[in-house]
Structure 1
């Protein structure tokens, strides 16, 4: 237990959580895990995970994967890299995990996204394309409505 007053401890924790979030934003393509992030913030992995979820609405791992998928979407829109190359470029080591998480967040597999997105953002400034194509956060992509003929 800390000797600091609770409000001061909370502010200190929030500052450390922000540094963890900033590190994920900067180093998303590097091998990061919750243990390494927690060590860097002088917290236990469990405490970091609980506090990060309270502060940002998702786990550190979930946030990291969302960052990786956002970057993957941008690379796939360019159209000059294969899905496998994009997977490894954003720091994922498993094509299966990457494809599954991509599909959960975006609502379609990366190969389909690559085909559709290349033409969907033609002529659109990259800053606008990034906002329009941002993956869904804190929930899975909505299931398509059933089509009844």
Structure 2
């Protein structure tokens, strides 16, 4: 008698694949809950551990799922919201730049200024002047459309953006002989 199974024997079915963040409605609701909390309080510190607790999943699973669902890691999403809020305050209020930095969640004015410039290519003061000079009846355009049009592009990390800018301008320090 042979130990081999006959050719027409049923093969074991593979284990069902786990749904991704985009396919699992319960996980997507949890991720949206964390995203809504960041939107509502972008001035607060939102480490991945805190966001994962809000979502009820592990830290690593949250970080992977958030990026898969929204296209950017949670930290970059938070930076985008803080910069959007800072731009709006620069444009619409008379608050000084230091006040805006602290109101939008930055702990250091230097860090705020450096990251603001890295993302927008303008200093906060230059952005204030440019935003006020280009005001053209925004009342006719819904606020959500304005925010989407003015949203900073953070598809790459700020450090990667800096590295690419340096690579394009700095000559190599070694020479071929």
User: Which of the five TM-score ranges fits, normalised by the shorter chain?
Assistant: 0.7 to 0.9
Q: 2:76 aligns with which of 51, 62, 68?
A: 62
Which of the pair has more CA radius of gyration? 2
Q: Which residue of 2 aligns with 1:71?
A: 85
1:113 equivalent among 114, 127, 137? 127
Is the CA contact 1:79–1:114 (under 8 Å) kept in the aligned structure 2?
no
Q: Say whether the 8 Å CA contact 2:80–2:151 is kept in structure 1.
A: no
SS in 1 for 2:137: coil
How far the C-alpha of 1:38 sits from its partner, in A, is 1.0
* Alignment partner of 1:45 is 2:59: yes
Q: Distance in 2 between matches of 1:5 and 1:12?
A: 16
TM-score, with structure 1 as normaliser: 0.79
Which 4+ stretches in 1 moved above 6 angstroms?
none
Post-superposition Cα deviations, 1:7-38, rounded to whole Å, max 9, x if no partner, equal 49833221211111111111112232211111
CA RMSD of aligned residues (A): 2.8
Does residue 1:6 correspond to 2:31, yes or no?
Answer: no
User: Where do 5+ consecutive residues of structure 2 fail to align?
Assistant: 1-15, 166-177
2-structure distance, mates of 1:7, 1:130? 32
Normalised TM-score (structure 2): 0.68
Distance 2:35 2:99 in 1: 25
Q: Give the structure with the higher percent helix.
A: 1
Match in the other structure for 1:137: 154
